[in-house]
Amino acid sequence: MKTKKSLKVKKGDEVIILTGKDRGKKGKIIKVLPKKNKVIVEGLNLVKKHRRPTRQGEKGEIISVPRPIDASNVAIWCSVCGRKTRVGYRLEGDKKLRICKKCQQLI
């Protein structure tokens, strides 16, 4: 039986790509796929897709589509200290807050 994976990145987080053709680029997460352990980053890891014409008289086109990238290949970008970081957690009352492991500020 598979266990549920918990990703430390969320939709809306700013991340930096660690490997691949877009290494070193920053972007915002637009979708998280926890079952596949993947994320989709806005404007990064783009591939060309050929789209067929859907109506009579319309032309086909080539569009760029962002594809999923493995969550292990991205790192959270801390806007406070200005570098990539890991995510830590702090409990305040009954809330679990995400913090930057390097500067201890809230993410």
What's the pLDDT at 62? Answer: 95
pTM of the predicted structure, to 2 decimals: 0.82
Is the Cβ–Cβ distance between 49 and 62 less than 8 Å? Answer: yes
Backbone angles phi, psi at 95, to 5 degrees: -105, 140
Q: For the residues of 12-77, what is the DSSP string, one character each?
A: T-EEEE-SSTTTT-EEEEEEEETTTTEEEETTSSEEEEEE---STTPPPEEEEEE--EEGGGEEEE
Whether the pLDDT of residue 6 is over 80: the answer is no
When the pLDDT of each residue in the chain is averaged and rounded to a whole number, the result is: 92
Per-residue pLDDT tens for 11-22? 999 999 999 999
> How much is the average pLDDT of 40-44?
95
d(CA 93, CA 30): 30
Domains of the chain from N-terminus onward: 14-53+60-100 (2.30.30.30)
